[in-house]
Structure formats: C-alpha cells, structure tokens
Structure 1
Amino acid sequence: MDLGLLLAAIATVLLGIAVINIKSTTLFAPWCWLVVTIWGIALAHTLNNEILGSSGSGDAFTSSRQKYWIEAIQFGAHALVFCPFMSLLGAQRPQNKVWEFIVFSLWLILILPALETVLLSPGQLADTQGIRAWFMLVLIAVSAINVILSRFWISGILIGISQFLLVNPHLPNWSHLHYSHNMEAGLSLAIASFLVAFLQPKPDRSGIREEDLVWLDYRDMFGGMWALRIKERINQSATMYDWDLRLTWTGFVTADGSKLPEELPARTQEILHQHFYNLMRKFVPRDWINTRLNKSKSKLTDVSDPTVLNP
C-alpha cells in the first residue's frame, strides 16, 4: 500500500474520533476541509507514482507533459492546507456556510499559477514565487499561532512545520529544503499533532467557575484568533455599558481585576446570558454550553436563549 494513502487513512481515523465532539459546532466545516486536504495530497502523490511507473514506454514529450500536469495537480492539492484555517476564520453563525465559498475562492487564487500554466502555457513550470509565496508563509505562521495560543501549543508547532513541509517548494526560494520526502514527513507530522492533541491530558478545571469553564473550553477548541475576538467584544461592551465585569485570557474578573464573588449578582448573571453565552451560541450549540454549567439557574433555556443572536 502506498505510504501516502496509509498516512491519510491513519489521519482520517483520528479525525473520525474527533468529529464526535465537533459535529454540532461550526468547526465541522474546517474538519471537512482537513479531510479533503489530507486525501487530496495523498491521492495526488499516488497518481504521480502510478504515472511515473507507467511512463517508461512513452515518448519523452508525452512524459514531459505528464510531469507538468502532475506538478500542477500536486500544487493544487498542497494549497489545500490553508483551507481548514481559512474556514475556521469564518466559523461564526450565520455567515459560516457562505464563508466556505470564500475559502474555495482563496484556494483558486493560490493555485492560479498552476491553472495558467496548464491552460495557457502547457509544458512550462508554474511560477509560484513573488507575493503569493510570501502570503503562503504568512498563512502558515498565523494558522500555527492560532493553535499555539490554546493549550494545544505542541500540536500548533507540529501543524506549522507540517504545512511548511507540504508547500515548501512553493514558498520563497530562501526557505526551500530540497528534501525528497516532504509529503510523507508533512503528513506524519500532521498525524503526530493529532495524536498529541488526543493524548495530552486535560487540565483539572473542576475548581474553576462555570462561566470560566465555558470560556476556556471554547478558547482551546477554536484557537487564539476567535478567543481574542470574543474577549475584545466582551470588554468593549463592558466598558461602553459600565459593567462590573471583564474577560481575561484565563477567565472573568471584576472591572478592577479582582475575583468575581462566589454568587454572581443578578445583573452580572444577566450580562453573561444576554451577551457572553449568546456570542458562544454563534459557534457551539446550547447543549455544549449547558454541559459546562452546573447551577440549574445558569443553564440556558428557550427563554434565556433567543433565536436572534445579538453580539
């Protein structure tokens, strides 16, 4: 069995286990992109091996044309590595479904050099240098940082290196590794990042406040980019409306930075329901939040969870 297909199968099994926890959230679309990416890369390289194995009897011109087609297909498959992260950036209801068309459009823009070469200048190598190569490098850094900011920082580093290896030939010239097994190494590191995420022990959060548990689990699930955005939104509203509440990276505090009282005032509880939990509902279902709320009066109901989600 081809090594690329074997690695893709292993990764799919791991992702299949993870989908149980995210299928009801807006992370399902990034999960789908991740599966497509892994199999796209594996199948593109399998196609390369099969064609190279059968090209010995063909003429040199045909073999050359096949080579450029294969390189274009592989470039398109490798460019998919940016789609899961781009999909994550739009993982907010209600626009999350429309956002996937933007993700697909970005992918088309990234592979435009390969399309131009195949359609307009067949037989030539695609020019992927210039601003496009630097843009890919920036996407790698940002997508890795997004995971590093959560508790899965080791997985974030592995994902960044994996992406770097998978698209290395199309990055700026100074970063080229000239390594013949980039695909196998990249997929292996991706699998390693999944394994680390699964095996990494979950911190003991039994003693923290229930609203902090919702926040920390959300932060770890969606990464640093969305966590920073939610934190900014809550604190902007808190300043504007003079709430005695602020959201920090590790949880909620009062406006002066001290710990919240054990029993929250009715006004603070109302703020959490109307603003923080409604923001959460743009990403996760009500049941996801309720499983983290121990007090019955804190749990979301049809009354406290309106259909229209206001920021």
Structure 2
Amino acid sequence: MVASLVLAAEWGLRSAGWLTEPTSGASLRLTAAALSLCPAMSILGAKRPQHGVWQLIVGALAVILVLPGLSTALTRPGSVPDLHLLERCFLLFLALVGWINFIATGNGIAATLMTIGQLLLIRGFLPGVASDSAFAPPGPLLETQAARDALAAVTLAVGSVLACLVSARKKRLSSQENPLDFAARVNRPFLALRETFGAAWTLRIAERFDAIAASRGWPCRLGFLGLKCLGEPGEGAWQRDASRTLTALFRRFVTDRWLARHGWPMNISN
C-alpha cells in the first residue's frame, strides 16, 4: 500500500512539473521498490513472540535498501542511484521469496500478478539492466517506460483485487460447511492462516501438529490442504486435545480475536 502511494506520488510530481527529468524520479522508484518488497521478509518473521524484533530488522532492511536512493537525491540530484550487483540480486531475491511463499496457495494467481508488477516496477534496478537507460530522457524510450509503469500499476491493482475476491469467496464457502465436522472446524482458520502467511509457516504448523498427533495416537493428520481424519473420526477426547494443541500453534501467529473471526471455537479448546 505504501509503495503504491509512493508510486502515485512520483506520477503526481511529474504531472505537476516537479520531476521534469526522468532520472530525478529514480530515487522515488527505488523507495517504492524497497517498500513493496519488504513485506515478503516481514511475513517470514511472523511467529510470536519474536515477531516484534523481526519487524525492526525488516525496517532496518528497508532503510538499507532506500539508502542509495537517498544518497543520490542529496548528493547527485537528477542522477540514477548506482546499485551494486549484490543489491540488485537481493531485490530480485526478495520478489521471488514472496512469490514462492504464496504460489501454491489460493492466492497463487494474485501473487504471480503482483510479483510481475513488482519486477516491472524495479526493472531499472535488476541484475543485467542498465539503470540509466531504464530512466530514459524524453523520447520513444520514455514512452516505453511510461507504458511499463502503467502495466506495473495495473498488474499490482488486479493482483490486489483478485486476492480480496479469493478471500471473500473462501470465507463464504467455509461458512457453508458443517460446523459439527471437526475437520471443517479446523480447516477454516488453518486455510485462512495459509492464505495470510503463505506456505512457509503453514507447513511448519502442519509438521508440528502431525508430530504431536503421531505421538499421541490421534486419528488425523494435518497437511497443506487441511486436516484429514483417518477412518471414522467420531467424537472423542482426542478432538479436545487436538483443539488445544491447534490453539497453541495458532496463537504463535494470530490473536484470539482473529481466530474467533475465522470460526475457531475457543470454548472447545479451553
């Protein structure tokens, strides 16, 4: 969201005549790139209680990514920030990390569109791309740059809207499931957590739950697609124990209010 505002600010300043030279907006573009890519790293540190410290680390990362742009704007106004090859590779790495984390989820298409938009947005700072030519002076190249910027904005917007539509659809479908079915009760918050935090933490939660389930002999297994009961699940004390275990695992990432909003019966796990 902040990155989109920075990009909109760049376009607004250009329209107002403040950024007459295309290269003068390169620093703003680098700022937008850093702000759009850091959330991918932020999600990887979502586990509590260390999530607060991790956000400080991500904030420091954002500052480091923006520093070349700030330095150029202050010392060489109108110039294009000069990024080292390692910095360029790291920007590409951040974009791919976010995409890989969500490609297998229900938001896979949205993640792909948003990653394409991000890569178009930061194309001038990618490995093998000459930054000076990416921010061209007035002429045919500038028209091409404007077209790519417009395409980046469209793909980012479509990806965001698609993610919202997918979330609304999944919420509507989950509300129609049988509330008495234990697997359905588990899958509603679990799959919502998968769509929120991606594959990395979802697989970790499933791995931890399955280890406990195997040690205690519970007739169920938790996978990337949700909970599967082995044989006839029926009613039993194991369901209450499993609910307590899942609540403890969920609380490492989300609040009780979030769980209640996604249909997790907190009274069962108490």
Whether TM-score is above 0.5 comes out as: yes
Structure 2 SS opposite 1:111: helix
TM-score (norm 2): 0.77
C-alpha root-mean-square deviation of aligned residues, in Å? 3.1
Measure how far apart 1:292 and its partner are.
5.1
Q: Does 1:199 align with 2:165?
A: yes
Q: Does 1:271 align with 2:242?
A: yes
Measure how far apart 1:164 and its partner are.
0.9
Paired positions, count: 249
Change (3 A) 1:111 1:280: same
Structure 2 partner of 1:12:
none
What letter corresponds to residue 142 of structure 1 in structure 2? V
Q: Does 1:284 align with 2:259?
A: no
What letter corresponds to residue 210 of structure 2 in structure 1? N
Query: How many angstroms apart in 1 are the aligned matches of 2:94 and 2:49?
Result: 25
Structure 1 SS opposite 2:227: strand
Can you give the 5+ residue segments of structure 1 that lack an aligned partner in the other structure?
1-34, 56-62, 305-311
Alignment deviations for residues 226-284 of structure 1 (CA, whole Å, 9 cap, x no partner): 21222233234445x44434311122246xxx346132x313421331x2112212333
TM-score (norm 1): 0.68
Structure 2 partner of 1:90:
45
Change (3 A) 1:191 1:68: closer
Q: Does 1:76 align with 2:48?
A: no
Change (3 A) 1:78 1:301: same
In terms of mean alpha carbon deviation, does 67-76 or 99-108 score higher? 67-76
What letter corresponds to residue 161 of structure 1 in structure 2? I
Matches within 5 A, 1:161-310: 161-173=116-128, 179-181=144-146, 182-200=148-166, 201-202=169-170, 204-205=173-174, 206-207=177-178, 209-238=184-213, 241-244=215-218, 245-253=220-228, 258-259=230-231, 261-263=233-235, 265-273=236-244, 275-290=245-260, 299-301=265-267, 304=270
Measure how far apart 1:220 and its partner are.
2.0
Among 89, 100, 103, the residue aligned to 2:55: 100
Measure how far apart 1:194 and its partner are.
2.2
Query: How many angstroms apart in 2 are the aligned matches of 1:122 and 1:204?
Result: 53
Matches within 5 A, 1:133-144: 133-144=88-99
The 4+ residue runs of structure 1 with deviation greater than 6 A are 175-178
Query: How many angstroms apart in 1 are the aligned matches of 2:261 and 2:29?
Result: 43
Structure 1 SS opposite 2:145: coil
Query: How many angstroms apart in 2 are the aligned matches of 1:204 and 1:223?
Result: 20
